[in-house]
Amino acid sequence: MEGSKIHCKFSRRTIFFQQWTTLVYIFAFVIRFTQSLDYSEALSKSLLYFEAQRSGRLPYNQRAIWRHHSGLTDGLDQGVDLVGGYYDAGDNVKFQLPMAFTITMLSWSVIEYGEDIAAAGEYKYALEAIKWGTDYFVKAHTHPHVLWVQVGEGDTDHYCWQRPEDMTTSRRAFKVDEDHPGSDVAGETAAALAAASIVFRRTNPHYSHLLLVHAEQLFEFGDKYRGKYDTSVGAAKGYYPSLSGYKDELLWAAMWLYKATDKSYYLKYALQNAQSFGGTTWAIAEFSWDVKYAGLQLLASKLPKQGKADNKILQEYRSKAEHYICACMNQNNKTNVHRTPGGLLYIRQWNNMQYVSNAAFLLMIYSDHLRETNQMARCERRPVGPEEIFTFAKSQVDYILGLNPRGMSYLVGYGPKYPRRVHHRGASVDSYKKRKGFISCTQGYDNWFGRKNPNPNMLFGALVGGPDNKDRFNDHRRNYMQTEACTYNTAPLVGLFAKLHGLDRGTNIEDSTLFSAK
């Protein structure tokens, strides 16, 4: 019996020693990895990604050199010039709703963290990324009450695995107008143009004014002729359906137009329609290209005090904004966002990283606001301060960059381990410059799609869909839920990487200006 006790004690000590050694090793790895995270490199690569997603005639200073001109006849059959813009993800269709949201988030990144972007030497590229989208939106808005909202058809496009330079699929263009309304897509495009007009106000005032003219016309159009765009454009329904409807986009657009113009009309619109449009009644735990409520509510909660009646509505907006913040922080009594064992926010299986990057961005901005105003988030379980919110937002960014159970960066091209088989037509096929011969629709599937080899072209800065709810990830092109990247995944990271790089440059974390929006 005594021998058994000795053996038991020895076994426990051995197990304890092994566990402690493992913990020490993991902790040392985490510290070493954290110190090695280069947010400046991540920022640079995230902006490079948008150059790889360009459609149209590429400029002489194009840095994603494996790409070439594409979609040069877009809109020709309809008698309009729709050349330009961005492909949304790994296919070759131009969808206006997610493209506009991408530009809104890029612009918001520059508005909040423009000084940090400039300090990193990336301001020029950030503005170019925004302008590539807004130039296209101006083209697509051919009449005050006409907006072209899609080029290409998802169904025919997905039958083919072709580089955009070789496209043989339908390039049919679709529009919304007075008889076929699309308040959601008109509203989001208005928001994007309004936000971008703020960005260009100092550097290009004439262009800023042009964007604002189009933004106000689009808002008036979307509000006067109300309806969901996917009812008018059936081709969009299977790919980017407007499940939340159009009321969130109209409120979102009004708030951005108020920020851009300082016209009381837009603020009154957002306040008077707050309840009937769901702005102060919807408590949401996600923010995306479709559901804008959380972003709208956060924007409203940052506004300075108004009159007594208006302040009451703004407080209701703030309450709903903090529901979202508290859900991410796991501090609501019932509705909280799930997390993986590795600590990643988890909303749903398909392209979960879009929700993560958006959440981290809103959390970071709200932490700035709370610190600047010396406030706490009023969560149901307990108050949460700006430092705690900041720390959690940073943890989501660090997870993306490789501080996770797999040690994998989900930002393509960053770190030693990242996805090599991104679900992306252009990146997975030999580049046009290397192989100028035509590659047919079926050739792409037969010769490239199923290959086990890494993609021949690096899609730097692409944020893929990411791991499942157990932190598992399968790096294969067929696994589009996890390996496809989208423009709206990366857009909020531009601001986040800039902010964190700014801190790495030596800003004192106790300094209140550290959390101030730029």
Residues 6+ apart with CB under 8 A from 144: 217, 220, 221
Q: 475 an active-site residue?
A: yes
Output the six-digit token pair for 46.
């995230």
CA distance 439 to 446: 11
Query: Comparing C-alpha atoms, which of 466, 291, 282, 287 is closest to residue 359?
Result: 287
Pairwise CA distance, residues 408 & 405, whole Å:
8
Tokens of 108: 């918001």
Catalytic choice (145, 423, 424, 501): 423
Catalytic residue among 74, 88, 91, 230: 91
Residue 149 has which token pair?
């909202």
Residue 484 bears catalytic tag: yes
Q: Residue type at 363? A: L
- Using a 10 angstrom Cβ sphere, with 0-12 exposed, 13-18 middle and 19 or more buried, the burial of residue 364 is buried
Q: Distance between CA 85 and CA 75 in Å, rounded?
A: 12
Evaluate whether 389 touches 366 at the Cβ level (below 8 Å): yes
504 is catalytic: no
Q: What is the dihedral of CA 137, 143, 146, 148, to 10 degrees?
A: -40
Residue 256 vs residues 76, 249, 305, 319, 470: alpha-carbon distances, Å: 33, 10, 17, 20, 38
User: What would you measure as the largest C-alpha separation in the chain, in angstroms?
Assistant: 93
Cβ count near 1 (within 10 Å): 5
Active site annotation includes 424: no
| Annotated catalytic residue within 230, 424, 484, 501 | 484
Question: Catalytic residue positions?
Answer: 91, 423, 475, 484
